[in-house]
Structure 1
Amino acid sequence: MGKIVYFWWTIGFVLLALETLVPGATLLWFGLAALGVGLVVLVIPGLSIIGQVVLFGIFSAVTLAIYWKFFRATHHESDQPLLNRRGEQMIGRVFVVEEAIEHGQGKVRVGDTVWSVLGEDCAVGSRVRVLDVLDNKLKVEPAQ
């Protein structure tokens, strides 16, 4: 075996080892491509350096395509779709006005937090229902 085979295998194994330090699965596919070029050079020892580099590019593209097609995480429906979407969790709930809603703006108390609200004018103590969330403000309407 020629030195060039060892070169490609060394590059491949170094990339595979570095994969343990890098988040995601990026270097893995380049490492596999380098190992593949090493195997081709083992079978075809007269392959030029340019040919090897082109082959590495092709193998890298193929391995990345395989990753994107079969291994990349796809969007899965969550069993808690509103997790970390605090404002949206409040849609439909009724709260008491903490600071009067005047000129379309006021505040309501939600647990131990005060939220800004947008809606029809309401006095302190009125009950309002959350309709939507707009820019971290709750859009409300008077509740019955």
Structure 2
Amino acid sequence: MLSRMIIELGPWSWWLLGLVLLAAELLVPGVFLVWIGIAALITGALSLVLWEVSLWTWQVQLVLFSVLAVASTLLGRRLLGTGHVVTDEPMLNQRTASLVGRTATLAEPITEGRGRIRLDDTHWSVQGPDLPAGTKVKVIAGNGRDLTVEKA
């Protein structure tokens, strides 16, 4: 059934595939299907011109489509890549990194290199030199969920 439809539609089958992929991009976020859809539309445009040429077999069309899909996806990623975006919130979604430089009071003493502080509304595990509870400390580094502190 599918092969019959492709034969009947001829070069328009690539156009149909391209339009379906572009429409699917509206439903599936991520800006990925658009590049494959563009590859199908380019293959369809070439098919309109080369359909009667004996060299233009379905195998050649499929290889060309595959190469164009990879090339357009790579080109699209390069053109629309996020790169280094300048922002007014550079520490957004980097919570431990945003705490570096802040001072707090130890809620629990640091013993054997481990303790806890309270910053804002959160208790944090800390690493640092052994210090008694109530000591003022400064956050000097953040690693995952742990903060490294020193005496302030």
TMscore range, shorter length: 0.7 to 0.9
> Runs (4+) of structure 1 moved beyond 6 Å?
none
What TM-score comes out, normalization by structure 1 length?
Answer: 0.84
Alignment match, 2:135: 126
Partners of 2:40 and 2:118 lie apart in 1 by: 60
Name the amino acid aligned to 1:52: Q
Name the amino acid aligned to 1:128: V
Partners of 1:127 and 1:12 lie apart in 2 by: 63
Alignment match, 2:101: 92
Alignment match, 2:38: 32
Segments of 5+ residues of structure 2 without an aligned counterpart are 1-7
Alignment match, 1:116: 125
C-alpha distance 6-135 of structure 1, shift in aligned 2 (>3 A): closer
Partners of 2:26 and 2:11 lie apart in 1 by: 24
Structure 1 residue 135: deviation in Å? 4.1
C-alpha distance 107-69 of structure 1, shift in aligned 2 (>3 A): closer
C-alpha distance 90-29 of structure 1, shift in aligned 2 (>3 A): closer
Secondary structure class of the residue paired with 1:83: coil
Aligned partner of 1:103 among 112, 115, 127: 112
Alignment match, 1:142: 151
What TM-score comes out, normalization by structure 2 length?
Answer: 0.81
Alignment match, 1:60: 69
Identical residues among aligned pairs (%): 37
Task: Tell me whether 66-75 or 17-26 shows the greater mean CA deviation.
Answer: 66-75
Secondary structure class of the residue paired with 1:20: helix
Secondary structure class of the residue paired with 2:11: helix
For the aligned residues, what is the CA RMSD?
Answer: 1.9
Name the amino acid aligned to 1:30: I
Deviations 1:34-61 (A, max 9, x none): 1222221211222221222122223323
Secondary structure class of the residue paired with 2:139: strand
1:12 and 2:18 matched: yes
Segments of 5+ residues of structure 1 without an aligned counterpart are none
Task: Tell me whether 32-41 or 69-78 shows the greater mean CA deviation.
Answer: 69-78
Name the amino acid aligned to 1:6: W
